[in-house]
Structure 1
Amino acid sequence: MSSSSASPTIPSDPFASRSRWLWVLLLTLLLHILLIVWGNRQFGVPLPVNRPEPVVMANLTPLPPVEKPVLLPQEPKPAPQATKPTTKPSAPVRPKAAPEPSVEVPDTPIRETVTPIVDAGPATPAPADPAAAASPPAVEPAPAQAEAAPPAGKHYQTNPPPSAELKYDVQALQKGQNYHGSGKITWQTDGGSYTVNGEAGILFFTVLDFKSEGEINGFGVSPVTFTQKRRNKPPTQTIFHRELNRIIFSSSPQSYPRSGGEQDRSSVVWQLASIGRGDSTQFAPGVVIDLFVAGPLDAETWRMQIVGQEKVSVDGNDVDTWHVIRIPEAGSHEQRLDIWLAPQQEWYPVKIRFTDKNNDYIDMSLSKLKPLGLAAAH
């Protein structure tokens, strides 16, 4: 009887099996990584890079503060009349002229004014004082330097435009509605005086009617009276009183000292044109011209800023102009004023725009220009 013997089965090592699978996984992962890197290099696929967004910082610099609206008369006219003959004998009297402006200026601390040197005329009775002969060397230099102050004043060479009648096409935006109308400004001067008459109408209504009268002197355009009439409002009159040396109003108790160079809301346009005609180099982008301007109820400094040269369509033709703006201070209810002056057309205002705080506006664009020749202002 044969007995069969079965050989025992040797169990496999589980640790060795798991090690082999682990090596297979590692090799597979390494092959995938190598394949990805090779593909990026082969096909130029950029790897994602997180870059911080650039930060831009800007510093806003405000406009310089409003300069004191001090205007000096033109040197050729007043200098030979009073400056040379009265310089020496007026030495003892200079201390008397100083207190007079100081009494009036505190009433309105809005601005400083410099009294023209011509005011030193009433200096004749003083040389009789014997004690004054010893004091001039010590007393005169200090007040003379403080009063004359040529560097503090802003001198503009002026030459007003010749007489002309300007007609305008008027466009207006009022409470969301567009309107069309017409306007006219008549500028007349004989070289020593001037008048400005202006009006603007929409449909059958006159929205603005004004008149300015005055002199042409060493300061340029120098108003004496300004009358304004707006729709549904009574007329007002502003007077630049020569005897009182004050600016007074028919509809307001306000008053301001007058020393020369002040403007009204109509004459300011023609004073700017006179400055441009007097010397065109006085106009440059960014230049600021501060003028003290009186309205129907009060007065304040207007900062007129020259934006630059622009082309404006006038009756279908492009005209080179200088764009000047007046932007009221923050919180003011005054209108913004834009003026376009044409040097090739005697610096006449070929376009004027008044813009309210609510963006309503009245736009006047020149449609016809008629020279009037040499005409008397009155």
Structure 2
Amino acid sequence: MISPTPASTFTHLKRQLKRQLRQNRTSLVAALLTVLLHVLLLQASAIPNWHNMPTPRLEQVVQINLSPSPIVQEIPAPAVSPPPVLKQRESKPKPHQPVIPEPAPEITAAEIQDIGPGSASNDFPPRPAEQSTKPVAVPEPEPEPSSAAPATYALALPESVELKMTLLRTEPDSNRAPIYGVGAIVWSVDGDTYKLSIEAGLDMLFTSINLYRLTSEGGINSFGLAPELSTEARRTRAKTATHFHNEDKTVSFSSSSAKLAIQDGAQDKASFLMQLASIGKGDPSQFVAGREIAFQVAEEKELSVFVFTILEKEELSTKLGKFSTWHLVRAPRPGAYSSQLEIWLAPSTGWYPIQIRNTESNGTVTTQSVTEIIQKNLPPH
């Protein structure tokens, strides 16, 4: 077989190109007719009674130009403007959620220290929220000479009674919740002897836990209460005792080998409460605003002179109602005691101490307030 010449090769390629164009033309016409038919059918379906309309003649519809395609030039895309800034919807405030306070922490034995009314750090006492807990401004009394003779007073002991108390302790500038507790002062007189106890602890659902107990017992003489034995017990410490030897006018301590001389009318950390009540009940005229009442008090290892200043009468609100009271204040004395002790005596109740407050040097306040007065040994009607 003879190979075709270049001229015949060109002719052969030209024929194949024409044949291919004819085939492509036929395929393109068929495709366009098919698309046009579908478009007409879709348009007709949207017209009522379309099936009754005359069918268009297809040979008059399409004309195809098979001229070579022009060169397509790239056209830059139009600049797209930034989307409009949408205004932010204002958020609706959430419904108010009630603030549930955290429950107050339970009192532990380690947190309860020196609850006695005469202690330097009195841990417990009332919840008079409406009353101010700021220390009362009291002029500092002149120092008492240790050899000064004790003052004498007309005395009458209060009737036997049990005072139920609430206890509240608050600390300054603290995030801790106040500490609450319960307590009691039990006072009994039998002839020429007396017994007194002061307790503080936790009030549980079916029982109570005692954290502190202070006792005093002794006789009665012309100077009022004459203590013989005072004990102090804490849940976290060993029990201590203070012994009064009234025959030789000395006092000794179980926690110390010291033996100190005392004056007539000397008291312990519990008995001085009822000694003050006995002075008021013995002769109310002995209570005058601005007057001072002083006596020795033995506590744990030492002997101090407690000086109380009588303030004006004031009305005190308690859970039992309002009482007219005498307000007494023992201001801090350098070298003796650093806390301020306040006592409210109510003549209408028999001069019982219905409120006691101790303010420590660091601002911690402990208040005891009466909630119930249970009198005992009442005379027959």
- Compute the TM-score of the two structures, normalised by the length of structure 2: 0.58
Q: Is the 8 A contact 2:140 2:331 kept in 1?
A: no
User: In the alignment, which residue of structure 1 is the partner of 2:193?
Assistant: 193
The offset of 1:291, in angstroms, is 0.8
1:326 aligns with 2:345: no
Q: Distance in 2 between matches of 1:214 and 1:112?
A: 24
Q: Paired residue for 1:66?
A: 143
Q: CA deviation at 1:262?
A: 0.2
Does structure 1 retain, via aligned residues, the 8 Å contact 2:168–2:181? yes
Q: Secondary structure at the match of 1:294?
A: strand
Residue 163 (structure 1) aligns with: 160
| Match in the other structure for 2:234 | 230
Note the residue ranges of structure 1 that are not aligned, 5 or more in a row: 1-60, 69-110, 115-152
For 1:216, the equivalent position in structure 2 comes to 220
CA distance in 2, matches of 1:221, 1:333: 23
Take 1:235 and 1:173, find their aligned partners in 2: how far apart are those partners?
26
Any conservation in 1 of the 2:320–2:371 contact (CA below 8 Å)? no
Specify the alignment match of 1:247 in structure 2. Answer: 251
Give me the whole-angstrom Cα distance separating, in 2, the residues matched to 1:62 and 1:257. Answer: 29
Structure 1 letter corresponding to 2:170 = L
Contact kept in structure 1, 2:202 and 2:210, CA below 8 Å: yes
Task: Say whether the 8 Å CA contact 1:190–1:374 is kept in structure 2.
Answer: no
1:369 counterpart = 2:365: no
Q: CA deviation at 1:350?
A: 0.4
Structure 1's 236 and 285: CA in aligned 2 closer, same or farther, altered over 3 A?
A: same
Amino acid at match of 2:366: I
Q: CA deviation at 1:194?
A: 0.3
Counterpart AA for 1:197: S
Unaligned runs of 5+ in 2: 1-137
Query: 1:66, 1:303 within 8 Å by CA — same for their partners in 2?
Result: no
* Higher share of residues assigned helix: 1
Give the partner amino acid of 2:273. V
Q: Does 1:300 align with 2:335?
A: no
Go from structure 1 to structure 2 and tell me whether the alpha carbon gap of 1:211 and 1:219 turns closer, same or farther (over 3 Å shift).
Answer: same
Cα distance, 1:66 vs structure 2: 2.9
Letter in 2 for 1:272: L
Cα distance in 2 for partners of 1:332, 1:239 equals: 21
Q: Which amino acid aligns with 1:275?
A: I
Give distance in 2, aligned partners of 1:245 and 1:154. 17
Q: Distance in 1 between the 2:308 and 2:187 partners?
A: 21
- Name the Cα RMSD after superposition: 2.4
The question of whether the paired residues in 2 share the 8 Å contact of 1:337 and 1:353 is answered with yes
SS of the equivalent of 1:273 reads helix
Identity score, percent: 34
For 1:219 and 1:185, locate their aligned partners in 2 and report how far apart those are by CA, in whole Å: 22
Are the aligned partners of 2:229 and 2:241 in contact in 1 as well (CA < 8 Å)? Answer: yes
Matched, 1:311 2:304: no
Instruction: Return the alpha-carbon distance in structure 1 between the equivalents of residues 376 and 164 of structure 2.
Output: 13
The letter for the 2-side match of 1:199 is: E
Computing the radius of gyration from Cα coordinates, the structure with the larger value is 2
Q: Distance in 1 between matches of 2:314 and 2:139?
A: 24
Residue 178 of structure 2 aligns to a residue whose secondary structure is strand
Cα deviation for residue 63 of structure 1 reads 4.1
Aligned partners of 2:165 and 2:368 also within 8 Å? yes
Deviation at 1:251, TM superposition (A): 0.4
- Count of residues in correspondence between the two structures: 236
Partner of residue 357 from structure 1, selected from 331, 340, 361: 361
Q: Which residue of 2 aligns with 1:100?
A: none
Whole-angstrom distance in 2 between the partners of 1:370 and 1:329: 35
Q: Distance in 2 between matches of 1:279 and 1:371?
A: 21
Q: Quote the Cα distance in structure 2 between the aligned partners of 1:368 and 1:62.
A: 34
Report the residue type matching 2:163 in the other structure.
Answer: L
2:258 is the counterpart of 1:264 = no
Could you tell me how far apart the structure 1 residues matched to 2:233 and 2:180 are? 20
Give the aligned partner of residue 147 of structure 2: 112
Deviations 1:159-216 (A, max 9, x none): 0101001100111125643011110110000231100011012467644310000111
Residue by residue, what CA displacement relative to the aligned partner does 1:65-86 show, whole Å, maximum 9, x if unpaired? 1334xxxxxxxxxxxxxxxxxx
Mapped contact 2:320–2:372 kept (Cα < 8 A): no
**1:344 Cα deviation (Å)?**
0.5
Q: Separation in 2 of the partners of 1:373 and 1:286?
A: 35
Alpha-carbon spacing, 1:334–1:255, altered in 2? closer, same or farther (3 Å): farther
Moved more, 330-339 or 351-360: 330-339
Supply the distance in 2 between the matched residues of 1:249 and 1:331 (Cα, whole angstroms).
Answer: 20
Residues 205-234 of structure 1: CA deviation (Å, up to 9, x unaligned): 644310000111101111111111234111
The whole-number CA distance in structure 2 between the counterparts of 1:113 and 1:212 is 26
